Structure 1
């Protein structure tokens, strides 16, 4: 049990829900959840999406696609994250029938001894990350406009208000270039820490930089009993995280439509 008296998974779901609300510029309530919006980053789907964090009555999962169309009518895309596994599976047939792609993610909790911090990695200011972030997004989205890239980089400003403590951890090459990075969100009162968006620049892959970032982030959160991250349930990084002491604990569901 976590310090709040909940199970780790329910505590994590509450943390994710609270983070989305705190990060948002505005929210719109829906039965069973809410929509988190930020008009400054209209090209960032992650900053303009719905969350389901409770019962979907009235209407149940069948009513969700229509509610999303109404709440997100001003946007050319739709995105919703369902924080409960059973609810996500119940919503899947209705959302996929409405044209949504369904992605399952695994919540992984660190249950191994906490490693020491790596000498090559440490917290950095967001400004120090901007060039590396922009370069990474240009590689991921080669056809994106500079405005779109700018929104994806600048949206990290909003994350600073998402949790009690938000830090950006980065590993540098011997000549000082930022090679890998991740976010670290912590809520000491709830005893929870999340490691998010661990990325290594393509030019620096395979040299241990991601391990340095992960170990340093874990070390910074060593005093918190629940340390977790979220990984694609069907992609290789989950196995890499498992080798670093993370254990699958549950699932959440993500749906999006262009």
Structure 2
């Protein structure tokens, strides 16, 4: 368990508010809430339970069943590490797998603008669709459709939402990322940084990340963070780009 960083409560509030705003509807529980969107039924990112308070560990699985019982999966996130640790045993008894997502904040100097630019979703739809079989090879066409089109709902998630992309010299999208900002609160999140497979290893992801950090700082967001899976390599790359671990989010999933 990591030592809580001063900005972590603000990050938790931002995450919870983003999920609430993005949702088509919510269901409230003691210490938690469910977000639901029938338009993206196959997207766990749009249909899950999120514990943002002192939820009773033994109750979490029941809340997920009540809110997500119409779906073929159950997915729950717990923001607080102490609460999450208490939830592991009862959730595993209920048949859930536990994974950890790292929360990393940028501690390095603000980079120069990387040359990426804001684009509309229509420009990203093709590259994003083509990228998903690489990350989810077993996904059905319907599943991939929802994973792609759910980006539309993200426009509701924060005060300022930007889709950033960098292009090849020939004008093709080479890499992209989302930037979610609340300038009044001084906080920004960078998510879904992806490089087209044919353009890996050419520095495109770094240019998008630099652009996102630069634009967030220019908007007055002193807290700039992202999330990364604990068991995958990108978090080490983010560390080289000036990000430091400040906490984690627990994910519980049952299929």
Query: Separation in 2 of the partners of 1:113 and 1:102?
Result: 34
- The residue number in structure 2 matching 1:79 is 75
Q: Map 1:180-195; keep pairs closer than 5 Å.
A: 180-195=175-190
Query: Separation in 2 of the partners of 1:105 and 1:149?
Result: 22
Query: Separation in 1 of the partners of 2:82 and 2:138?
Result: 37
Query: Separation in 2 of the partners of 1:105 and 1:148?
Result: 22
- The residue number in structure 1 matching 2:37 is 38
233, 237, 240: which one pairs with 1:243? 240
TM-score using structure 2 length: 0.95
Deviation at residue 98 of structure 1 after TM alignment: 1.3
- The residue number in structure 2 matching 1:3 is none
Query: Separation in 1 of the partners of 2:126 and 2:111?
Result: 29
Q: Map 1:37-76; keep pairs closer than 5 Å.
A: 37-56=36-55, 60-76=56-72
- The residue number in structure 2 matching 1:23 is 22
Deviation at residue 143 of structure 1 after TM alignment: 3.5
Deviation at residue 234 of structure 1 after TM alignment: 2.6
Q: Aligned pair 1:211/2:206, yes or no?
A: yes
Secondary structure of the residue that 1:174 maps to in structure 2? coil
Deviation at residue 38 of structure 1 after TM alignment: 0.1
Q: 1:85 to 1:211 in 2, by over 3 A?
A: same
CA RMSD of aligned residues (A): 1.2
Q: Map 1:145-224; keep pairs closer than 5 Å.
A: 145-222=140-217, 223-224=220-221
Deviation at residue 111 of structure 1 after TM alignment: 1.0
Any idea what the Cα deviations from partners look like across 1:144-202, whole Å, max 9, x if unmatched? 33222111111000000100000011111111111111100000111100000111111
TM-score using structure 1 length: 0.94
Deviation at residue 52 of structure 1 after TM alignment: 0.0
Query: Separation in 2 of the partners of 1:138 and 1:196?
Result: 19
Secondary structure of the residue that 2:249 maps to in structure 1? strand
Aligned residues: 249
222, 226, 231: which one pairs with 2:228? 231
In the alignment, structure 2 segments of 5+ residues that lack a partner are none
Secondary structure of the residue that 2:131 maps to in structure 1? helix
